[in-house]
Structure 1
Amino acid sequence: MMLRKTSTRIAAAALAGLLALGTVMPAHAQSIPPGVPLIRDTEIENLLRDYARPLFRAANVGGSQTNVVIINSRGFNAFVANGRRVFINAGAIIDSKTPNELIGVIAHETGHIAGGHLVRLREAMERAQIMAVISMLAGVGAVAAGAAGGRSVSGVGEAAPGVLTGGMQVAQRSLLSYQRGEEAAADRSAITYLNATGQSARGMVETFKRMQDQNLFAVRNVDPYTISHPVPQDRVQSIEPLAKASPHYNAVDPPALIARHDLARAKLIGFMDRTDAITRRYPPTDVSLPARYARAIQMFRFGDRNRAAGMADDLIRAQPNNPYFHEIKGQILLETGQPGAAIPALRRSVALAPNAGLIRIMLGHALVATGNPAVLDEAIRELRLALQREPEAPDGYRQLAIAYGRKNDRGQADLAAAQASLYEGDLTTARGLARRAQGSLPSGSPGWLRAEDIWNQRRTPN
């Protein structure tokens, strides 16, 4: 599992996103700092893609440009950004007890994408701003007219705040009403897509019921016209009859999917929670595979790292062909300063999951970290293959730069370092390295042209 922060541009897109399960207005979301922390993990990303792919097809929003991104946050939330990315908090994955619950969340977000809600929300925000400005100008006119009509200055001054803010409140409520309508539409669309794919909407209902229980006291005294989403109890009342009317309401998740879901939750819990919380969730009496997975990661983070590698071996004995158990063993060994020992596990993981660019990057990292010149060519080969799958992975370019540097290939080393900086959002450094790379690369070569592209960048990618 890899953690990284997005470039400022991704962060800005996220801030403009439609927060579908939270209660935060996009205008208020600007408090989120630039550099949204993401989780990159092949196992979990593949699971989410398998959840999302049928829904995207049903909504006719499929294709390589639509994907699911994991945010490193324990809160339960999901939202759409750029009209093609679904952002899901790790907490939503952890708290979804079944695949169907999380599939319901993705179905709801698919409704936002298919409905073009992000574009329409921006238009609604512009209309609300115009309404607020008109109301403010009208208020100023009313205040001026009052003063010209002979009202006392003090009287006009006391009335002014109410006159000026009243129009702004009307504009805000209009926007909030619009958002609540879009949320309700996304709920209905979600049920349509679930029906089209032969899946139950029971998970959606259960999610909103859980939110209803959690928010029972929080929303008791809240004016429903001043929030951006329908309150959970209203959503339950709206979608439960539709869900129960579906012929697929009693459909159940396949056992293999449940097993993958439980492992993904265990992995996130192992990497994200405190050691006491992990032990409470998976006590020693729990000998299930997810519990053993979480405890191996817990041991890696908080205990005896050598023992953690042995616990990973135990997982491998249980499922020898699970690439992610070999991956976790390789990660444990690599991050405990044993890159040579990590290589066989990572090679096996790559053999079992040849399309997993992130795992290949880890293998390339291990090869570079050995300091053995004899494996540099293999490291470069693995990293270049990985970057074909993960063309925006800074870690891959960083390791590639080190490998080329050790081979005294300054042009390729500077080019790789430039790309690492580019995808980390550091455009100034990226452009400087790209210009330096051009001094060592043959003019007009593919590498030289790529460096020229970076030099000409005016904004970071993503």
Structure 2
Amino acid sequence: MTHRTRPFAFARAVSLITAAAVLVASLGPAGAQHRRMSFIRDAEIEQLLRDYLDPLLGAAGLRKGFVRVVLVADRSFNAFVADGKRVFVNTGAIMDSTTPNQLIGVLAHETGHIAGGHLARLRAEIDKATAIAIIGTLLGGAALIGSARSGQVGTTPTGAYGALTAGPELARRSLLAYQRGEEQAADRAAITFLERTQQSPRGMLETFERMAGDSLFAASRMDRYLVSHPLPQERVAGLREVATKSPFFAAKDPPARQARHDMIRAKLFAFTGDAGEISRRYPARDTSLAARYARAIIDYRFGRPDAALRAIDALIAEQPRNPYFWELKGQALLEAGRAAEAVAPLRRAVAIAPNQPLIRTMLGHALLAQGTPQSLDEAVRELTNATARDPDNYEGFRYLSQAHARRGDEGNAALAAAREALVIGQVQDARRFASRAMPLLQPGSPAYLAARDIAEARPERSP
């Protein structure tokens, strides 16, 4: 499991003119443009969420694999769509979902937003709201000018002030009404997708019931016209009426799916919580596989490598075909400075799960750390494979750059560094590395053309 903090780079900002219009824009995804988020990459968690999401995409008529799941290191319960190609899921949404069905319900709702084209339509609504705000502001300004000509500016006439503020307020309410409608549409679509995949909407209902309970006091003081989502109790009532009529309402998650879900929750608690929380949640008397997984990770995290390796070996003995146990063993050895020993378990993990680029990346890292000419050659092969399968794999590009550099291939080292910089949103650095790479690469080669494309890239401008 790896972490990375970087600016939110997936949602495009909408350029708005007036201060009131900027306030309207901040209600939508564009308002997240300047937030910093910490992202997590983990092969096991990402694979399970893809297994949850792909059937829903198929039910929505979207190509499976078209949408990526991005893990946000945030303990709050939240998920959102930013660009129609990525669903962002907070780790808190996974950790607080006690059943797969609860999290699947959340993903079904987000699929509803993607299938409905809500993000593109939201941009159009923001444009409309901006126009309303600008017109209202201009009319208000005209009223103030009229007051000035009549010598009344010093008294700030109520009518002139009302004209100045009415446009932005109308724009805000218009946009919020649109967002509430889209949230309800996404709820209805989610129920449809769950039925098409013969899954229960119970988990979705349970999730919204819990969220409604958490916000009950605040909801009692809300103005229904000044929120972007339907009021919690009203939303739950409408959802309950439809969900309980589903022929699959009583359907349960298969035991194997529940077991995998328990494992990723244990993994997240173990990697992100403190030792006290983990010991309370997964005490020694709990002998379940998930609890032993969590305790093995805690031993590894808190500097008890021998205990961790014994616990991981016990897990492997129980499930020798589980690639993530082999991956954890390789990670524990690698981060203990035992790179040569880490290679064998990571090779085993790759053999079991050859389509997991993040595991190949860790193997490439171990081979790079081993540092022999043969291991560097193999590192380049593994890291090239990993980054080709996962173009957002910034760590893969970083290690690939280092491996090329240690082999004396400065051109491809600079190109890989450019690709890493591009992934993490550092466009100027990417262009600089690409410009450095071009004279060192064979003109007309795929690597040269890739470097040229990056060197000529420009930061994406807001519309």
TM-score of the aligned structures, taking structure 2 as reference length: 0.91
Larger deviation, residues 416-425 vs 98-107: 416-425
Alpha-carbon offset, residue 32 of structure 1: 6.2
Tell me, in whole angstroms, the C-alpha distance in 1 between the residues paired with 2:280 and 2:51.
Answer: 30
Q: Secondary structure at the match of 2:81?
A: strand
Tell me, in whole angstroms, the C-alpha distance in 2 between the residues paired with 1:247 and 1:14.
Answer: 43
C-alpha spacing 1:93/1:128, structure 2 compared with 1 (3 Å): same
Contiguous gaps of at least 5 residues in structure 2: 17-24
Alpha-carbon offset, residue 289 of structure 1: 1.0
C-alpha spacing 1:25/1:269, structure 2 compared with 1 (3 Å): farther
Tell me how large the CA RMSD over aligned residues is.
Answer: 2.4
Q: Which residue of 1 aligns with 2:85?
A: 84
Q: Secondary structure at the match of 2:87?
A: strand
Q: Secondary structure at the match of 1:45?
A: helix
The question of whether the paired residues in 2 share the 8 Å contact of 1:15 and 1:32 is answered with: no
C-alpha spacing 1:106/1:388, structure 2 compared with 1 (3 Å): same
Q: Calculate percent identity across the aligned residue pairs.
A: 50
Q: Which residue of 1 aligns with 2:94?
A: 93
Q: Secondary structure at the match of 2:199?
A: coil
Q: Which residue of 2 aligns with 1:116?
A: 117
Tell me, in whole angstroms, the C-alpha distance in 2 between the residues paired with 1:117 and 1:427.
Answer: 28
The question of whether the paired residues in 2 share the 8 Å contact of 1:15 and 1:30 is answered with: no
Q: Which residue of 1 aligns with 2:283?
A: 283
Tell me, in whole angstroms, the C-alpha distance in 2 between the residues paired with 1:179 and 1:335.
Answer: 46
Q: Which residue of 2 aligns with 1:250?
A: 250
The question of whether the paired residues in 2 share the 8 Å contact of 1:52 and 1:106 is answered with: yes
Q: Which residue of 2 aligns with 1:304?
A: 304
Residues 8-407 of structure 1 aligned to structure 2 (within 5 Å): 9-10=9-10, 12=12, 26-27=27-28, 30=31, 33-146=34-147, 148=149, 152-157=152-157, 160-407=160-407
Tell me, in whole angstroms, the C-alpha distance in 2 between the residues paired with 1:100 and 1:304.
Answer: 36
TM-score of the aligned structures, taking structure 1 as reference length: 0.92
Residue by residue over 1:418-438, the C-alpha shift from the partner in whole angstroms, topping out at 9 and shown as x without a partner, is 222222322333223222222
The question of whether the paired residues in 2 share the 8 Å contact of 1:212 and 1:233 is answered with: yes
Larger deviation, residues 432-441 vs 316-325: 432-441
Q: Match for 1:174: what amino acid?
A: S
Tell me, in whole angstroms, the C-alpha distance in 2 between the residues paired with 1:164 and 1:273.
Answer: 50
Q: Match for 2:427: what amino acid?
A: L
Q: Which residue of 2 aligns with 1:21?
A: none
Q: Secondary structure at the match of 2:411?
A: helix
Q: Secondary structure at the match of 2:218?
A: coil
Tell me, in whole angstroms, the C-alpha distance in 2 between the residues paired with 1:206 and 1:185.
Answer: 19
Tell me, in whole angstroms, the C-alpha distance in 2 between the residues paired with 1:297 and 1:460.
Answer: 40
Tell me, in whole angstroms, the C-alpha distance in 2 between the residues paired with 1:30 and 1:406.
Answer: 43
Alpha-carbon offset, residue 77 of structure 1: 0.7
Q: Which residue of 1 aligns with 2:19?
A: none
Alpha-carbon offset, residue 374 of structure 1: 3.0
Contiguous gaps of at least 5 residues in structure 1: 17-23
Residue by residue over 1:170-223, the C-alpha shift from the partner in whole angstroms, topping out at 9 and shown as x without a partner, is 221121111111101110110011111111100111001100111111222121
Larger deviation, residues 343-352 vs 422-431: 422-431
C-alpha spacing 1:157/1:460, structure 2 compared with 1 (3 Å): closer
Residue by residue over 1:257-312, the C-alpha shift from the partner in whole angstroms, topping out at 9 and shown as x without a partner, is 00111101111111112222222222222121111111222222234233222221
C-alpha spacing 1:460/1:305, structure 2 compared with 1 (3 Å): farther
Tell me, in whole angstroms, the C-alpha distance in 2 between the residues paired with 1:122 and 1:267.
Answer: 37
C-alpha spacing 1:415/1:134, structure 2 compared with 1 (3 Å): closer
Q: Secondary structure at the match of 1:218?
A: helix
Q: Which residue of 1 aligns with 2:421?
A: 421
